[in-house]
Structure 1
């Protein structure tokens, strides 16, 4: 007998099969750069000649609950997103939004300067800029 059973609601059945397949395959990422589907916050990381830029998408998180640290080449973003209050007496039917304590750790390149870090929060987005060391910046060489 198969572990796969299809009842009346096709979408919930499809969701259940997807969870079963994920558990069988060990939640393998689709590529080497793919992150876990439940990783929070989602990040974009980029670089310019002057700095490393990190954008963390943290909607629903109060800026006061965020903590950003750089230590031993690791950038850590941590905080807490609280659940929105439902009407008193209501029961939760579905919950798709992550709530609770979170922590993301990013390994920074060796040329990151931990003394040159700036962070700002704007409209649910955390912008972090980490300067690069002077010695690592590109410079033009005059040929004699």
Structure 2
């Protein structure tokens, strides 16, 4: 395949993916294919010892935030207030990009994650979640006899 046709192929695949997504209501099939505007946006990564999740969620009241793990699924749920005064009576709103209301994100954890060892903290508008890996899944050295 020549270099000249590669961009056209990728743009055609992107168009096809958007079309298929619209046909099925835009429901995501994985973290990589979430709908536009999904809240909170997240990053998921791992170290040798843990699975690290960062949910970008400014303006949350931690008393209205729930993080739970059940059957290998990590759920982040809560509510986000508008955080501003409503427009004056008779004013028209042309666009609203800031999400407010209830939300729920579900993340499938890898099998090596230990659901009994989860820590979560909220710092500077980010929910930081760390799930330790099971001891049996961590790399270890084997002595050759």
TM-score using structure 2 length: 0.75
User: CA 1:42 to 1:63, structure 2 compared with 1: closer, same or farther past 3 Å?
Assistant: same
How far apart, in 1, do the equivalents of 2:86 and 2:31 lie? 39
TM-score using structure 1 length: 0.75
Structure 1: which 5+ runs fail to align?
1-20
Deviation of 1:35 (Å): 1.6
Counterpart in the other structure of 1:106: 107
How do 1:59-74 residues align onto structure 2 when only pairs under 5 Å count? 59-74=58-73
How do 1:1-144 residues align onto structure 2 when only pairs under 5 Å count? 25-26=22-23, 27=26, 33-83=32-82, 84-89=84-89, 90-144=91-145
Give the count of matched residue pairs.
123
Q: Which runs of 4+ in 1 moved over 6 A?
A: 21-24
User: CA 1:101 to 1:32, structure 2 compared with 1: closer, same or farther past 3 Å?
Assistant: closer
Structure 2: which 5+ runs fail to align?
1-17
SS at match of 2:32: coil
Please say which of residues 96-105 and 32-41 is displaced more in the overlay.
32-41
Deviation of 1:24 (Å): 9.2
User: CA 1:22 to 1:108, structure 2 compared with 1: closer, same or farther past 3 Å?
Assistant: same
Q: What do you get for the CA RMSD once the two structures are aligned?
A: 2.5
SS at match of 1:33: helix
The answer as to whether partners of 1:22 and 1:28 remain within 8 angstroms in 2 is no
User: CA 1:24 to 1:87, structure 2 compared with 1: closer, same or farther past 3 Å?
Assistant: closer
Counterpart in the other structure of 2:14: none
The answer as to whether partners of 1:60 and 1:81 remain within 8 angstroms in 2 is yes
User: CA 1:120 to 1:25, structure 2 compared with 1: closer, same or farther past 3 Å?
Assistant: closer
